[in-house]
Amino acid sequence: MNNLLKRSITGSILVTSIIVMLFLGFRVFTLFTMLLGLGLSAELIGLTQVDSPQKKIHKTLTKLGFVFLSSSCIGIVGLHIVGAPIDWPLLLLLAVFLSFFCMHVIFYKGNSLSYLAGHFLALAYVTLPLCLSLVLSRHDGGQFRPQNILGIFLLLWVFDSSAYGFGSVFGKRTLSPNISPKKTVEGFGLALVVTLAIGYMIPLLFVKASWSALDWTVIATITGVFGTLGDLFASSIKRGAGAKDSGKLLPGHGGLLDRFDSYLMTIPWVYLYTQATALL
């Protein structure tokens, strides 16, 4: 099976799974987000642990601790959003957090600041955006609006596909030659125009989406700009680790981080935009 066919099959399954999952309700979306947090955190920590002097068992224990911490944070936010009691989950989270530092003090030998920075990057880069995605999914008066998240995914998919297609045909100037030589200025610009047009039409496609056509046009701009930055940021991490892909979970695509890097960088800016407009 050639790589293009493999990418197409994997991509179709992934897109279909996301669409179905979004319309199964907030609890399923929260569970999906927790599992996504597990996978993304594990991949990111794996990339940042490449030069760690720790033994394999100590690396594994540390990774498990932080991966569980990341997923637990997402679950607690989900519980809070639906109004469930979160006293004991917060205590459990604190216990895990303190246990991690105990393991670190006992087992680690090396540059503590550099090592911890790689792990806390997972919390900031992966966990925070995924928590905010849960908030955005209930933006409209607390009701679950899967169209909000699906709209963001749609814009990211349109931009990514358009940038690749236009870049292959018209691309001449490299957008970031040191990180991603295949991304071009022409591909970025033309893809952004297409994505803006789709963004303006999203209220027509998703009647119950929370935002207006103007808002979705701004969100389309955010997905194009910050989605690209997210892709470049993840590429720089992989380049620093000497890895082509973040993992092998998705045949033809690599790992989860290879597919969700743009999403992670886009969500916080969409959240900031919606909060800013709510104050006006």
Say how far apart CA 280 and CA 274 lie, in whole Å. 10
Contacts of 8 (CB under 8 A, 6+ apart): 252
37 CB neighbour count, 10 Å cutoff? 27
Query: How large is the average pLDDT for residues 42-47?
Result: 83
Q: What is the pLDDT of residues 211-259, one digit of tens each?
A: 888 999 999 999 999 999 999 988 888 887 777 877 787 776 778 888 8
DSSP character for 139?
A: T
pLDDT of residue 211: 85
Is pLDDT at 30 greater than 70 in this prediction?
yes
Res. 36 pLDDT band, cuts 50 70 90: very high
Mean pLDDT confidence for 179-199 = 90
What's the pTM value of the predicted model, to 2 decimals? 0.88
Which residues share a beta bridge with 184? 174
Judged against a pLDDT cut of 70, whether residue 156 lies above it is answered with yes
Q: What's the pLDDT score for residue 69? A: 78
Residue 189's pLDDT band (cuts 50, 70, 90): very high
Q: Which residues pair with 174 in a beta bridge?
A: 184
Quote the pLDDT of residue 262. Answer: 93
Among 19-28, 34-43, 78-87, the range scoring the smallest mean pLDDT is 78-87
> Average pLDDT over the chain, rounded to whole?
82
pLDDT of residue 104 exceeding 70: no
- Inform me whether the pLDDT recorded for 173 exceeds 80: yes
CB neighbour burial string for 135-152, b if at least 16 within 10 angstroms, e if fewer: bbbbbeeeebbbbbbbbb
pLDDT at 52 over 80: no
Task: State residue 134's pLDDT score.
Answer: 93
Task: Answer yes or no: is pLDDT of 51 > 80.
Answer: no
Question: Is residue 96's pLDDT more than 80?
Answer: no
